[in-house]
Amino acid sequence: MANRTDPAAKSVHGTNPQNLVEKILREKIHQSSFWKEQCFALTAETLVDKAMELDHIGGTYGGNRKATPFMCLTLKMLQIQPEKEIVVEFIKNQDYKYVRVLGAFYLRLVGKATDVYQYLEPLYNDYRKIRQRSADGSFFLSHVDEFIDQLLTTDYCCDITLPRVPKR
């Protein structure tokens, strides 16, 4: 039951929300120790606490391509489908940059194009540094505005194919 979508969850882009993450990545997340130990029985309220503990973003890394905690929390959000107001509060959070980035990434995955542009474009003014984990396991510095630009202009981010949004 822990790996299933909430029965009350609505379909997103015509499919189960978890299917926005490719099957192989979903399986890697389900096998990760962070998922098994930290993400079990998380609710929308307790998810915020876990998101505040994030210290980097990324998809998978290393030789066996382990999933990052950022990806685990993204999948958990897709599973429990928090209310839009909660996601907007994630994005408006000034104190924790990784909570903001997690909310932005989730909104980019499930949001309508108007919501995506309305809530993510103001984040172009956030120039704080964030740590990003590359595929080889090393870290590099990026900025919130660069990550937002990647979300809005590319089709692929953090090992996930992003749903199409029309150009501005």
Give pLDDT tens digits for 51-108: 999 999 999 998 888 999 999 999 999 988 888 899 999 999 899 999 999 999 999 9
Q: Which domain holds residue 30?
A: 17-155
11 lies in some domain = no
Report the DSSP beta bridge partners of residue 12. 15
The pTM score is 0.91
59 lies in some domain = yes
147 lies in some domain = yes
6 lies in some domain = no
Domain count, the chain: 1
10 lies in some domain = no
132 lies in some domain = yes
- pLDDT tens column, 12-33: 766 777 778 888 999 999 999 9
Within 8 A by CB and 6+ apart from 60, the residues are 25, 28, 66, 67, 68, 71, 135, 159
5 lies in some domain = no
108 lies in some domain = yes
